[in-house]
A and B are shown apart, each in its own frame.
Chain A
Amino acid sequence: MRKELAKFKGFSAKNLPKEEPFAPGHRACQGCGEVLALRLALKALGMNVIAISATGCMEIISSPFPYTSWRVPWIHIAFENAAAVASGVEAALKVLKRKGRFPKNRRVDVVAFAGDGGTADIGLQALSGALERGHDFVYICLDNEAYMNTGVQRSSCTPYGAMTTTSPPGEKSFGQMTWKKNVPAIAVAHNIPYVATATPAFFLDLMNKVKKAALVDGPAYVHIYSPCPTGWGSKGEDSITLAKLAVETRIFPLYEVIDGKYYITRKVTKPKPVEEYLKRQRRFRHLTEAQIREIQERVDAEYERLLRLAECL
């Protein structure tokens, strides 16, 4: 275990921080899992934060001038560069502290938020650069599995078979025809100290992981699965259920990778069939039984692979 994490006791229902760095009154849709993830992440980090957002749903719904939901300092520059902007913020803090122009002992966590599009597609280069350079910052990917802000277009994180406006099913298509990109694995390949996956359904787990990500020295990457009723064609009140089901079906396993070593943080010994998860969402409604079976096989294989990585087999 890393020494920076040794003293961290973890959040529990008893010691939840009172502060809400992300204020209510924003314009997210009802049942938005992404804004919930964002709020929980910030709650874990507290008020000594500088936040950077990529263009996307969360940036749009939180900052319609003259209103803002951000009670911590926040900057939005563009879509593909959250990690690069964060690099600049982190470097500036470092040098200003060194030169005595910012209190030396004041801990400030630099955290970048981007969607799956801003992370896995257009922002992948900036993310890779920032991770490789070793900036001390947290990068949080809020993955709702499509470009929601622009009207539900596919991304490389859109799951196999899902319908989006640019992966519509038709005569010659069954929706998204590629498998979801494994961005946490890409982050791990950068040999950074901390990588984790999380979902707002397990909110303490999410908060603990974000906090650990901030505590480690160097770059940390947290990939948060974030249900989007608007883009998925699911019920707003189903978001937490879906987030839970994604884990319980092993579609979105929860794990940590500390210094390259995988730890499964929620073992799923009796998985539910993927169908239970898929059938609650309009984006999968067109799938045939054969396609659902194909997805089940892939999910099983991926989970096996993860178990091997975590040496749990």
Chain B
Amino acid sequence: MGKRIAKEVSIAVAEAVKQCKVDVIAAYPITPQTHIVEHLSELVANGELDAEYITVESEHSAISACLGSVATGARTFTSTSSQGLALMHEILFIAPALRLPVVMVVANRALSAPISIWNDHGDIMAERDIGWIQTFAENGQEAVDLVYHAFRVAEDRRVMFPAIVNIDGFTLSHMIEPIELPDQEQVDRYLPPFKPRYKLDPRKPLSMGPVGIPEIYMEAKKAQDEAFKSAYRVIVKAWDEFEEVFGRRYHPVETYRLEDAEVGLLIMGSLAETAMSAVDRMREAGKRVGLVRLRLWRPFPLRDFVRTVRGLKMLAVIDRALSPGATGGPVATEVRSALYQVPGRPRVASFIAGLGGRDVTVEDFEEMADRAYFYLKKKPKEPYEMIGVKE
């Protein structure tokens, strides 16, 4: 068992990638992802990690090179943020369609304009439909653990889908936290060598990425979707096995003091720690408030989620991204539709908070919970509202 040492989360993530024995890294620098890729280049440069590091000229080429690499049978990693993720957009859809299991860490950051290097989820919410497995880390330990899990699941022959681990830029990526890096032997036990079923190899030629005429396009998409949905079981099972090897337990949906709650706050990512403090304070004041955190965003953990929140009266969803003119934040609209068919479902209030690095404080959470209570009596005027904006 490894030791718990204080480390910057980005450095720990890079160390975890090293422990996964990646073969190829192709990445382009962007704040706040930089510390991850800088540390990886250092590990390669001093021979601690035997890998090819491709210093591509853009994120578009980063992800393109990654696909070429995985397709050839190499374990492949990249990392980006914000504008870089947006630049990859076109290629992101192609990875799952060709069943190419690259792993990417996204240090979440706001999208321009105005240009901002600070944290929110605008970058990743714009990539909701790319068909990658997507998880959100709460703290440094989880960020690291989700990296092992991502490789393990993505490369599983029953899965073969790319995976993104989201870590909040700066507020998580640049934190110094006590993190336990497991022994290499544990990682090796958990993560078998990458043995793809199909790869580019002159000994066994095959064609990847053909034209999909109307007669087969939908069938191809259906097959992809079915495979993606059934990856859910493998994802959860891999967390069970994670506990066996590393002793830490993860679920697709986490809760905090939710048992007898009337109002649930729902968040993704590293805001959970502040949210828990807020829940504690409100509990002390006699309010029955609890917390729900989605660790797994894609595939959406529909059944587990509904089971978790079904007893609530109100769910206050805190989105870290804005979908202008929509019927709610991206997570809130998803959750509303997930609950629509559920008899006696909780109501859903949609709050947009913490855009472009704006702090979301304990008081903000209290305010949102109070409004959620209020909306139990009186319907909100608007489908969503922004919190923490200076008037």
Contacts and interface: CB of A to CB of B under 8 A. Distances in A.
B211 A60 contact: yes
Given A65-B213, A81-B61, A92-B74, A87 B50 contact: no
B216 to A, nearest CB: 6
Q: Which of the listed residues A70, A85, A129, A133 has the most CB atoms from chain B within 10 Å of its own CB?
A: A85
B60 A71 contact: no
A81 B69 CA distance: 13
A50 B202 contact: yes
B32 to A, nearest CB: 24
A71 B205 CA distance: 6
A217 to B, nearest CB: 16
B202 A88 contact: no
Contacts of B343: none
B200 interface: yes
Contact of A88 (B68, B90, B216, B220): B68
Interface in B7-41: 23-24, 26
Nearest to B60: A81
Given A75-B200, A129-B57, A59 B69 contact: no
B91 A74 contact: no
Contact of A86 (B23, B68, B201): B68
B205 A75 contact: no
Interface in B25-73: 26, 50-52, 54-58, 60-62, 64-73
Contacts of A70: 205, 207
A308 interface: no
Interface residues of B, number: 45
A75 B64 contact: no
A64 interface: yes
A75 B100 CA distance: 12
Interface residues of A, number: 50
A70 B207 CA distance: 7
A52 B67 CA distance: 11
Interface string A60-100: 10011110101111111110110111111111111110110
Given A74-B207, A89-B200, A128 B57 contact: yes
A292 interface: no
Contacts of B76: 88, 92
A1 B210 CA distance: 40
A125 interface: yes
A108 interface: yes
A101 B219 CA distance: 34
B377 to A, nearest CB: 53
A126 B210 contact: no
Contacts of A77: 64, 67-68, 91, 94, 98, 209
B23 A125 contact: no
Contact of B205 (A60, A63, A72, A132): A72
A47 interface: yes
Interface in B64-121: 64-74, 76, 90-91, 94, 98
B65 A84 contact: yes
Contact of B212 (A65, A99, A133): A65
Contacts of B342: none
Contacts of B70: 88, 92
Contacts of A126: 57-58, 60-61, 64
A48 interface: yes
Which 9 pairs between the two chains have the least Cβ-Cβ distance? A88-B68, A129-B57, A88-B65, A84-B61, A92-B72, A92-B74, A84-B64, A88-B69, A76-B209
Interface of A: 47-50, 52, 59-60, 63-66, 68, 70-78, 80-81, 83-96, 98-99, 101-102, 106, 108, 125-126, 128-130, 132-133
Interface of B: 23-24, 26, 50-52, 54-58, 60-62, 64-74, 76, 90-91, 94, 98, 200-202, 204-213, 216, 220
Given A77-B64, A87-B61, 16 more contacts: A72-B205, A73-B200, A73-B201, A74-B207, A77-B91, A84-B61, A84-B64, A86-B68, A87-B26, A87-B64, A87-B68, A88-B54, A91-B54, A91-B69, A92-B23, A126-B60
